[in-house]
Amino acid sequence: QKEVEQNSGPLSVPEGAIASLNCTYSDRGSQSFFWYRQYSGKSPELIMFIYSNGDKEDGRFTAQLNKASQYVSLLIRDSQPSDSATYLCAVTLSNSGYALNFGKGTSLLVTP
């Protein structure tokens, strides 16, 4: 069974702080890694993807990947109340037409 593990939270951070979200995965064949944001009652939306070890920055978001440790993280700088949502980590499934295996998500609450 290929697993993607996330802490369910809730993770509570004050407005303006850095939120750190973590994810581990079991399938060493996974090549691509994604972070989605899902507001309550809505469908997930893609925030970032990362393929190579190291950091990738996009605005207030930074994704970090360590394939040796099978670990992916997402940092959100200057967190805003509008960032309050569930963040889903996803990794590609080997030999499945680029299908993604999702973690259960971490709930983030940014307090004013």
Partner 1 sequence: SQTIHQWPATLVQPVGSPLSLECTVEGTSNPNLYWYRQAAGRGLQLLFYSVGIGQISSEVPQNLSASRPQDRQFILSSKKLLLSDSGFYLCAWSPRQSNYGYTFGSGTRLTVV
Q: Does 65 bind partner 1 (CB under 8 A)?
A: no
Q: For partner 1, give the closer residue by CB, 31 or 111.
A: 31
Q: For partner 1, give the closer residue by CB, 76 or 91.
A: 91
Q: Does 77 bind partner 1 (CB under 8 A)?
A: no
**Which segments of the chain are extended strands (E)?**
4-5, 11-14, 19-25, 33-38, 45-50, 54-58, 61-66, 71-76, 85-92, 100-102, 106-111
Q: What is the DSSP letter of 81?
A: G
Q: Which residues between 13 and 32 bind partner 1 (CB under 8 A)?
A: 31-32
Q: Does 52 bind partner 1 (CB under 8 A)?
A: no
Least distance in angstroms from the C-beta of 8 to partner 1: 9
Least distance in angstroms from the C-beta of 55 to partner 1: 18
Q: Does 1 bind partner 1 (CB under 8 A)?
A: no
Exposed, middle or buried, 16 (CB in 10 Å: 0-12/13-18/19+)?
A: exposed
